[in-house]
Every structure is written in C-alpha cells, then in structure tokens.
Amino acid sequence: MLQTRFHGRGGQGMKTASRVVGTAAALDGCTAQDALVYGAERRGAPMTAYARIATGPILERGLVSTPDLLVVADDTLLDDPGAAPLAGVQPEAPLLLNTPHSSAEVRARYGRTGPVEAHDFTALALDWAGSAAGVSAALAAAACRMLGLSRSSTMLALAQELADLDLPEALIEANLKLADLAYACVRPIGLRPAPCVPSAPLVVDVAYDPPELGTASVMGPANTPLRRTGSWRIFRPMVDFERCTRCWICFLRCPEGAISLDAEDRPIIDYEVCKGCLICVEECPIHVITHEREVRPWSA
C-alpha cells in the first residue's frame, strides 16, 4: 500500500487532488481510499487530505501519519508549526512542493535527502487556467505521475472530477492542458511503502471529565488579535493613496478587520492579518486597490 498526504490551504483544492489520485488509481485497477481533514475556517486556512492506493483490500482507516509521498501546495506551510506538514515524514520520502524556490534550496533548508520535485505550479496555473485554483489540477497530475499512475487514467479522473464541480467546458479544457504539463514536468519515482512504526496497544479508560476539560473554555480572553493569518495570502492587495478618495468602503467591507484608518483617514492594511481574500479589490468603487502575487523570500 502507498499512502499520500496532501497539505494545502482552503481554496487550493487539495481535497480535489486527493480524489483525483484515488480515482486514477481505481481506473488503473488498484484499490483506493481518500479522505480530508479541515477546521472551522475556510479559504486560506491549513487543511490536509489523504489518499491510499493498494493492489488489494485497504483495511487501514484514519490519518496518514507516515506518508510515502508528501504533497504540499503552499511552501509557507512548511514553517507553520500548526500545520506541520513534515511531521512523521522520513527525510528520504519524496516531496512534491509548489514553490518558486528550487529543489536544491528546499533540500538545503529542510534537510530532505529523498527526491524533491519543487515547481512553481501557481505561475503555471495562472498562465494556463487564469486562476491560482488551477494548482489543484497541476498537483494532482504531478502526484499521479510520481506514484506511477498512467497518464490516461490521470486525465480521465481529473476530467470526471472537474465535471462534477460544474465548471465551464473551456475551464475544464484549460485545467486538463495544465495537468498534462504538470504530469510531464515531474519524474516517476519507484516508491516503496514506508516502514511500519509499531505502537503500544491503546487501552481506553472511559471516565467522566470535569467541566474544565469536558467543555470548551476560553481561559485567555482577547487572544484573537494574537492570531497572525498573513501567511495565508497568495495575492497581496495594495492601495494607490494618490488616487484614493477615502470613501472607507474597503475599511467597512474587510471581513477580518485588517484595514484601519490613519490620522488622514487613509486605509492602512495590516499585512500580518490580511488573508488575501481581495474583497477590498472587488469593492473599491474606483479601482485604486490592486493586487499582485506575493512571493516570500527565504531568510538565510
């Protein structure tokens, strides 16, 4: 059995990618299983998906703790202790990463000794599909290639999944072309199942927990401002202050309260909090708020 773990942010389509891998494996005659885990937040929040493929019955359920292939859709997740995509991953395990940085940089920074396929799939998606959401199709196809699944099954699985999303035919075709390019830009890898890690038998002691453990208690009030979500962005909004009329619409519409007003009533974006939803870009009546793709440099 081969186990793949996908890490991404809400809206990047890692659930779809895991489903494509599972469907492609089934079309190739394998047994497949896929699942996902996400929290209360949606767009931009870290999430995880899994896919298991085997030539026989799959009896295992639950999380994939030691993946044979790790797929990461956003390189900022690698430094996020909450997401911890490298947890349980052996240094020699293959890594498929969406990043503008090179494979050599990734190996050096994170101590990877196994195969690393690092490509800027976001740029590829913007060029071919016109949207960063195309990262899903690209990573799904690349993962299928690394797992040794056939091109025909990969494209058919992706076409079925995109059709189920009720996407326009032109957008489906663009994503299929993007996926074909991504499939060709990585190499198939002779994957071997990760070694089983024995665990002690778990004895469950059913007991009644006291209220402070059995209920949701907020012991540290007013901690929301401490949450920094700026790393969730793919695109960075920017205000042209010379043309801004100070209408405050962006300030009123920002769902995260990331925009404040300075002494001159100009909208100031707090990039430590801004998730990059770009509602301010859409709501600005005279279009003085623009956006550009944000690439974060790695410190030495």
Residue 298, pLDDT > 70, answer yes
- Say whether domain 2-184 belongs to CATH 3.30.70.890: no
Q: How far apart are CA 226 and CA 222, in angstroms?
A: 8
**Interval 75-129: pLDDT, tens:** 999 998 888 999 999 899 999 999 999 999 999 999 999 999 999 999 999 998 8
Q: What is the mean pLDDT of residues 217-239?
A: 78
Where in the chain are all domains bearing CATH 3.30.70.20?
224-293
Residue 276, Ramachandran bin (φ over 0: left; ψ between -120 and 50: alpha; else beta): left
- CATH architecture of the domain with range 224-293: 2-Layer Sandwich (3.30)
Helix 135-146 / helix 121-128 crossing angle, nearest 10 deg: 120
Where in the chain are all domains bearing CATH 3.40.920.10?
2-184
Residue 175 near residue 121 (C-beta atoms within 8 A): no
**Interval 107-116: pLDDT, tens:** 999 999 999 9
Q: How far apart are CA 64 and CA 34, in angstroms?
A: 10
Pick from 49, 72, 38: nearest CA to 3: 49
Beta strands 46-54 and 31-37 are: antiparallel
